[in-house]
Amino acid sequence: MPTKTKSKIKITNKKVVQKKNLKEEVDVRTPDGGGWLYSDIVKDHFFNPRNFMQYGEEEKFKFNGIGRVGSPACGDEMVLWVQIDPKTEKISQCRWRTFGCGSAIASTSALSEMIVENSGMKIDEALKLKPQNILERLGGLPNRKVHCSVLGDKALQSAINDFFRNTAQHSRVQTAGAKVIDKELNVTDHDIEEAVLEGAQNLEDLQHKLKVGVFNKEVIPQLEDLLRFYNEKYYG
Amino acid sequence: MPLPKLKKVRDVYLDHAATTYVIPAVAKAMAPYIETNYANPSSLYRLGRINNGAINDARRTIAQGLGTMPDTIVFTAGGTESDNLAIFGVAKANADRGKHIVSIGIEHHAVLHSLRELKKDGYEITFVPVDGEGIVKVEDIVAAIRPDTILITVMFANNEVGTIEPIADIGRAILKYRQTNKTIYPYFHSDACQAAGYLDLDVEKLHVDLLTINGGKIYGPKGVGALYIRRGVKIRPMIWGGGQERAMRSGTENISGIVGFAKAFELAQTSREKEWKRVLEIAKYLWERVQKEIPKVRLNGPPFGVNRLPNNVNITFMDVEGEAMLLYLDEYGIMASTGSACTSTSLEPSHVITGMGLPYEYAHGSMRFTFGKRNTKADVDYLMKVFPEIVRVLREISPVVLEEGKKHAKIHQR
Ligand code: FES
């Protein structure tokens, strides 16, 4: 029988492989310390971030939309500047700054690349971008880092909204359709989505994450439904 | 981004509070008990007796270091287990006497999560606040004592910011409380895992009833520790079985681990004063250089001196997130740790930094460097070749600009 293994040392393939199945846990650490916590694409974006706003560039960079979002999750924050051509409605340029971990920085960088490549993405398309698209682009993120990629599409939405306001197209402003679930505690479906992204799996986690007291009994089934829904959506 | 290119990248370990390597003297002491002297110490034949003797010797060594008798030492599978045994063991054995425990909020998770678990069984926990340097006041501890208080647990030295708590003073105050109130409660437990390499652990001087120590922080093996239990303390075992460790901790003894642990403990205690001076120099050197070369930094915890472990440097770099810093440092072979929420599984920022009354933004940018036996100033030089640039680069891509205030950081929009 011919032996397949030529050498005991496995040479890790340096080529960047897109992950097909995002449901798989992405953690490429290997016992030889060769792998990395994140995929090669994430690593590349992290060490070579694209399109970020450099020192001293703020004054020069022309933009007509700015979005600033923060996540209560771990305190990460992001600002996105976009330049949209009003005629073609394509995003011609963008800049960003992010305060956060490796995957937050990489997510923003990847997003910035996606929206300006191929002579720019149309804003209608851009508004359809989902965190999943960023995840795909990055080759996935470890489960507990999924929430870092969510900030990007939120910042993009708010930057485009800003553009709509700046160009007096108020009817086109997307109102975030937050629905209040628990009136007393003012907990919305968005809050639940956020909590799930931060790892909440049950009511107890939810309570802890949102720092609220006991939920109203009548809304508990609804809360549980949403918990299940978002958990399935992101980790399912 | 143009980060400095180094001719030679080498491993620089600056995370000794996480765990330490095993030093050769310890490894040598352990070696015979891995391959040759493998017998179960409970067995009667010669090989078993040899190992039983080795464990007795180890127990004597540890007892001597703590200034106590060997029968007060119980070997466990590490610091976490010792903490668990102390807390659950005392809580369960004395529940009829009371269900109240006093502690501080910046304890290690081994203590905090054990206490949280007890809460579910109806125990009440009082967390006494610490000051901005992480130090608890003796009077505040005493004031928290109630008639139903059975246990007080306060760490000797903090693992994140190196704060040394006034254990001897607290111990004395508790003793006085017991005398005036004619009671044997509350018992006093301290987790001394981080302290063992640098501080005197004489249990008589500290007036503790229970003391946790382990091997993995003092150049000994991981997964082995001990709990000192003063004679007469009412405590129940948590692990049941063959009755080893005078039934306080059943399970075949981790013989090589115990031998190595005792050796490491002995060496750590004899060299602690010298080591204190040596690592303090390195730690101060790092802090001096950071202050000079990196703007907007803050030393977390007490100033260097008697209230701080000499090997600990915990610095907040404003406006930057810790995990990002760690990942960059890792590229240069530098190993350290952070209190950022992004690296913790719960996505919560360091409870130690926030427990000292600092806003969570400070935890986010906090980096802990802990020095040890193999470090020299050259390691600081190596770190500082790249670190200022890493911070600069990450600040450039950060939208957050914190203004250092007394209590609360202000976020400015850029
Ligand atoms: S930004 Fe905090 S975990 Fe990613």
pLDDT in tens, A182-194: 777 667 777 787 7
Token pair recorded at residue A65: 């939309």
* Domain interval for residue B35: 24-268
Q: What average pLDDT is seen over chain A?
A: 78
Check if the beta carbon of residue B174 is closer than 8 Å to that of residue B135.
no
Check if the beta carbon of residue B184 is closer than 8 Å to that of residue B149.
no
Asked if A101 and B343 come within 8 Å (Cβ–Cβ), the reply is yes
Omega of the bond prior to B186 within 30 degrees of 0, cis?
A: yes
Token pair recorded at residue A97: 């700054």
* Domain finish residue from B268, B299, B321: B268
Give the Å distance between the CA of B25 and the centre of ligand 1. 42
Any catalytic annotation for residue B193?
no
Residue B354 vs residues B90, B135, B288, B338, B341: alpha-carbon distances, Å:
29, 13, 25, 13, 11
Name the residue at shortest CA distance from atom 3 of ligand 1.
B342
Q: Which of A77, A97, A99, A103 to mutate to test the pocket of ligand 1 (most atoms within 8 A of CB)?
A: A103
Asked if A46 and B331 come within 8 Å (Cβ–Cβ), the reply is no
Distance from C-alpha of A95 to C-alpha of B108, rounded to nearest angstrom: 41
pLDDT in tens, A118-128: 999 999 999 98
Q: What are phi and psi of B340, to 5 degrees?
A: -70, 145
Statement to judge: residues B302 and B241 lie in one domain: no
CB within 8 A of B135, min separation 6: which ones?
A: B163, B165, B166, B302, B307
Distance from C-alpha of A214 to C-alpha of A223, rounded to nearest angstrom: 12
Q: Which residues of A touch B321 (CB under 8 A)?
A: 76, 99-101, 104
Distance from C-alpha of B211 to C-alpha of B235, rounded to nearest angstrom: 13
Distance from CA of B309 to the nearest CA of A (A): 29
Mean predicted confidence (pLDDT) in A100-126: 93
Helix (H) or strand (E) segment spanning residue B204:
helix B203-206
CB within 8 A of B6, min separation 6: which ones?
A: B332, B385, B386
H helices within chain A, ranges in order? 40-47, 102-116, 123-128, 131-138, 146-166, 189-197, 203-210, 220-235
Asked if A97 and B398 come within 8 Å (Cβ–Cβ), the reply is yes
Is B7 contained in some domain?
no
Please give chain B's pLDDT, 414 residues, in tens: 667 888 889 999 999 999 999 999 999 999 999 999 999 999 999 999 999 999 999 999 999 999 999 999 999 999 999 999 999 999 999 999 999 999 999 999 999 999 999 999 999 999 999 999 999 999 999 999 999 999 999 999 999 999 999 999 999 999 999 999 999 999 999 999 999 999 999 999 999 999 999 999 999 999 999 999 999 999 999 999 999 999 999 999 999 999 999 999 999 999 999 999 999 999 999 999 999 999 999 999 999 999 999 999 999 999 999 999 999 999 999 999 999 988 877 778 899 999 999 988 899 999 999 999 999 999 999 999 999 999 999 999 988 777 654 333 334 433
Residue B363 vs residues A151, B160, B219: alpha-carbon distances, Å:
21, 11, 28
Distance from C-alpha of A200 to C-alpha of A230, rounded to nearest angstrom: 10
Statement to judge: residues B262 and B306 lie in one domain: no
Statement to judge: residues B251 and B158 lie in one domain: yes
Statement to judge: residues B333 and B363 lie in one domain: yes
Check if the beta carbon of residue B119 is closer than 8 Å to that of residue B158.
no
Q: What are phi and psi of B101, to 5 degrees?
A: -130, 140
Q: What would the 3-class secondary structure string for B50-117 be?
A: HHHHHHHHHHHHHHHHHCCCHHHEEEECCHHHHHHHHHHHHHHHCCCCCCEEEEECCCCHHHHHHHHH
Distance from C-alpha of B318 to C-alpha of B409, rounded to nearest angstrom: 10
Q: Which of A48-62, A210-224, B271-285 has the highest mean pLDDT?
A: B271-285
Distance from CA of A102 to the nearest CA of B (A): 5
Statement to judge: residues B284 and B184 lie in one domain: no
Residue B364 vs residues A19, A177, B135, B319, B338: alpha-carbon distances, Å:
30, 31, 21, 8, 8
Any catalytic annotation for residue A74?
yes
Q: Which of the residues A78, A81, A101, A143 would you substitute to probe the B interface, choosing the one with the greatest number of B C-beta atoms within 10 Å?
A: A101
Distance from C-alpha of A234 to C-alpha of A25, rounded to nearest angstrom: 12
Is B173 contained in some domain?
yes
DSSP string across A141-157: --GGGHHHHHHHHHHHH
Is B237 contained in some domain?
yes
CATH of the domain at B341: 3.90.1150.10
Q: Residue A18: pLDDT band by 50, 70, 90 thresholds?
A: very low
Statement to judge: residues B278 and B197 lie in one domain: no
Statement to judge: residues B115 and B91 lie in one domain: yes
Statement to judge: residues B392 and B368 lie in one domain: yes
Q: Which residues of A touch B331 (CB under 8 A)?
A: 47
Instruction: Kindly provide the b/e burial profile for residues B208-225, where b requires at least 16 CB atoms within 10 angstroms of the residue's own CB.
Output: bbbbbbbbbbbbbbbbbb
ipTM: 0.82
Distance from C-alpha of A184 to C-alpha of A203, rounded to nearest angstrom: 16
Nearest to B225 by CA among B108, B82, B86: B82
Kindly identify which residue of chain B lies nearest to residue A75, measuring between CA atoms: B361
Give the Å distance between the CA of B132 and the centre of ligand 1. 26
Distance from C-alpha of B243 to C-alpha of A51, rounded to nearest angstrom: 65
Distance from CA of A44 to the nearest CA of B (A): 11
A77 touching chain B per CB within 8 A: yes
Q: Which residues of B touch A96 (CB under 8 A)?
A: 397
Chains A & B: contacts with CB separation below 8 Å:
75
Q: Which of A148, A154, A197 to mutate to test the pocket of ligand 1 (most atoms within 8 A of CB)?
A: A148
Q: Which of A66-75, A133-142, A213-222 has the highest mean pLDDT?
A: A133-142
CATH of the domain at B245: 3.40.640.10
Q: What are phi and psi of A40, to 5 degrees?
A: -60, -35
Check if the beta carbon of residue B105 is closer than 8 Å to that of residue B125.
no
Statement to judge: residues B190 and B253 lie in one domain: yes
* Domain finish residue from B237, B268, B299: B268
CATH classification for the domain delimited by A175-236, as one of 3.30.70.360, 1.10.10.1100, 3.90.76.10, 3.40.228.10: 1.10.10.1100
Distance from CA of A54 to the nearest CA of B (A): 6
Q: Which atom of ligand 1 is nearest to the CA of A99?
A: 1
Give the Å distance between the CA of B316 and the centre of ligand 1. 17
Distance from C-alpha of B160 to C-alpha of B301, rounded to nearest angstrom: 9
Beta carbon of A103 within 6 Å of any ligand 1 atom: yes
Mean predicted confidence (pLDDT) in A155-164: 88
SS3 B211: strand
Check if the beta carbon of residue A189 is closer than 8 Å to that of residue A178.
yes
Quick one: pLDDT at residue A19? 45
Is B365 contained in some domain?
yes
Is B6 contained in some domain?
no
Answer yes or no: is pLDDT of A151 > 90.
no
Statement to judge: residues B289 and B257 lie in one domain: no
Check if the beta carbon of residue A199 is closer than 8 Å to that of residue B346.
yes
Among B331, B347, B361, the residue with its CB nearest the CB of A198 is B347
Mean pLDDT lowest among A111-120, A208-217, B317-326: A208-217
Is B4 contained in some domain?
no
Amino acid at B261: F
Residue A75 CA to chain centroid, in angstroms? Answer: 14
Give the Å distance between the CA of A148 and the centre of ligand 1. 5
Kindly identify which residue of chain B lies nearest to residue A80, measuring between CA atoms: B399
Quick one: pLDDT at residue B231? 96
Among B331, B346, B364, the residue with its CB nearest the CB of A75 is B364
Is B153 contained in some domain?
yes
User: Is the model's pTM score more than 0.80?
Assistant: yes
Quick one: pLDDT at residue B345? 75
Check if the beta carbon of residue B75 is closer than 8 Å to that of residue B224.
yes
A67 touching chain B per CB within 8 A: no
Instruction: Indicate which residue of A148, A151, A159, A185 is catalytic.
Output: A148
| Domain total of chain B | 2
Instruction: Indicate which residue of B143, B247, B342, B378 is catalytic.
Output: B342
* Domain finish residue from B245, B268, B291: B268
Asked if A74 and B327 come within 8 Å (Cβ–Cβ), the reply is no
Statement to judge: residues B263 and B276 lie in one domain: no
CB neighbourhood size of B180 (10 A): 8
Nearest to A181 by CA among A232, A224, A151, A231: A224
Q: Do the domains at A26-169 and A175-236 have one common CATH topology? A: no
Q: Which atom of ligand 1 is nearest to the CA of B341?
A: 2
Quick one: pLDDT at residue A20? 47
Radius of gyration of chain B (CA): 22
Helix (H) or strand (E) segment spanning residue B181:
helix B167-181
Is B142 contained in some domain?
yes
Statement to judge: residues B174 and B319 lie in one domain: no
Fold of A26-169: Sufe protein. Chain: A (3.90.1010)
Kindly identify which residue of chain A lies nearest to residue B322, measuring between CA atoms: A101
Domain boundaries, chain A: 26-169, 175-236
